Amino acid sequence: MVAMPATRPRWRRRLRRYGPAWVGSAIVLAWILVALFAPLIAPYPPQAQDIVNRLTPPSADHWLGTDVLGRDVLSRLIFGARLSLLAGFSVVLLGAAIGVTVGIIAAWARGFVDEALMRFTDLVLCFPPIILALAIAAALGIGSTNTILAMLVVWWPKFARLARALALVQRSQEYVEAATVLGLKPVRILGRHILPNTLGPLAVLITLDLGNAILTFAGLSFLGLGVVPPTAEWGSMVAEGRELVEQWWVATFPGLAILTVVVGFNFLGDGLRDWLDPRTRGR
């Protein structure tokens, strides 16, 4: 009888703390499932045109209306989730792999190698990411692969900086000194000891950065440097409807899709950060 009132406030505190993380997880999982089962969910093919019914408002036949070519907005939105999520995951995961490798090598090697790698990292960081990605994408040409490569060039330095800082902290620990005395090779020390102890903050940055990568990819597509028409992609869909004020549904629903997935990853990243923080985990 006495334990119930003490347990309930703690449950409520955890719900307030991790509630947004569960909401973010549900949003992200829902969009991933939509992307995976797009051919089964979409009511129409994403490229199917119906000029007679162009720019029709949301109705029973077209739940989110049609665009300037009579294509179903809902179907294109569903198939657009595939490319947007794939681009976001590709840029962040590949950027994290490159950045973490550079950062850990710099922290272990120190000296000239550290200086050279970090000065090159600082050089890339000097440019605003979206501007540099825009210039590289324009040089490479239109296409989703070229856009991903352009984003990847500017995406890895933040991971390199964080990985280097974390690796420097771990390198000063006694277990690394003990492993060195035992004669373990640097590759094994880095892969088996230092890297696993840096994954927590890196996982948080990866989760938070996924929404930013999707937003940046959509922005480049909005400017005409992303996908090749008529490929369904959220940023290009917003661009197609930017001048259609009366036909608000053409640009509104893709914009809401971008908003929800970015908010979902931000909620998930914030919750993961709180859960991994030992100072707040037990509260």
Q: Are 228 and 275 in contact (CB under 8 A)?
A: no
Q: What pLDDT was estimated at residue 161?
A: 92
Say how far apart CA 40 and CA 5 lie, in whole Å: 48
From first CA to last CA, the distance across the chain in angstroms is 23
Instruction: Note the pLDDT of residue 136.
Output: 85
Nearby residues of 86 by Cβ (< 8 Å), 6 or more positions away? 35
Q: Identify the helix (H) or strand (E) that includes residue 126.
A: none
Per-residue pLDDT, 1: 45
Answer whether 99's CB lies under 8 Å from 160's CB: yes
CA distance 254 to 77: 6
* pTM (two decimals): 0.86
Give the torsion sign (CA, 45, 48, 54, 60): negative
**Which class is domain 19-276?**
mainly alpha
Q: What is the pLDDT of residue 7?
A: 47
Q: Which two tokens stand for residue 118?
A: 């970090």
Q: List average pLDDT for each run of 10 residues in the chain, which is 283 residues long.
A: 51 64 92 94 91 90 91 94 93 94 88 89 85 84 87 92 88 74 73 77 90 92 84 91 86 94 92 70 52
